[in-house]
Amino acid sequence: MYQPFAQFRSGGTRGVYMIKSTLPARRVGEVATATAARTAKAVPLSLARSLTSGIDRELSEQRVFAWMLSLLGTLGFALAALGLYGLIAQATIERRREFGIRLALGASRGDIVRLVARHALMVSSLGVAIGLCLSYFGTRVIQSMLYGVSRLDPVVYMAAVATLTVVVALACFGPALRALRVQAVEVLRSE
């Protein structure tokens, strides 16, 4: 197939020829270059490359952008998890006297763990509700950047909620263990 280069110069674009072959990409480039050189010596040939490498080159900017967004999202998620842990830990420390009094009045250690878990669940439920509302409206802004995912994909939302639930469970673990170490006698003496 041959067309004059000048016909493809409309708007500054070049002519592109595609060759389908079972040969390796490098070998196809060599054969095509050699054949074109034999048939039309005056025709300039640009770099021959595989379709995969061309697609990789075209998508490299989007891949870097996606990688940066993933990195920033992971960093944001880690900071949110750390903040959630700190919030639950601080609330548990502030309720230390309450836990001591409850233990002195006959509450079991399981009751104390349930109190800590209930508080964490309440905080995370509020965060999930607010986050889902904000993401519903926020995805309209980035809808054009989503690839392979609709802006209201329930799988993505369920994965985010499940991940947050795991973070909340892990965040409850340390403060709940500290709440279990509360000695009722020590708390009552300090009062």
Q: Spell out the per-residue pLDDT of the chain, length 191, in tens.
A: 445 555 555 444 455 667 777 888 778 778 877 877 787 777 666 666 677 777 788 888 888 988 998 899 889 888 988 888 888 888 888 888 888 888 888 888 888 888 888 888 888 889 889 988 898 888 888 777 777 777 788 888 898 888 888 888 887 888 878 777 777 677 667 66
Q: Is residue 106 part of a domain?
A: yes
Q: Is residue 20 part of a domain?
A: yes
* Domain coverage including residue 179: 60-190
DSSP assignments along 57-123, one per residue? HHHHHHHHHHHHHHHHHHHHHHHHHHHHHHHHHHHHHHTHHHHHHHHHTT--HHHHHHHHHHHHHHH
Say yes or no: 119 and 89 in one domain: yes
- The answer to whether 48 and 32 have CB atoms below 8 angstroms apart is yes
Say yes or no: 28 and 71 in one domain: no
Q: Is residue 52 part of a domain?
A: no
For residue 11, the model assigns a pLDDT of 46
Q: Is residue 28 part of a domain?
A: yes
Say yes or no: 33 and 87 in one domain: no
At 52, list the tokens.
């995969």
Cα–Cα distance measured from residue 30 to residue 80, given in angstroms and rounded to the nearest whole number: 54
Say yes or no: 96 and 172 in one domain: yes
Question: What's the total number of domains in the chain?
Answer: 2
Q: Is residue 44 part of a domain?
A: no
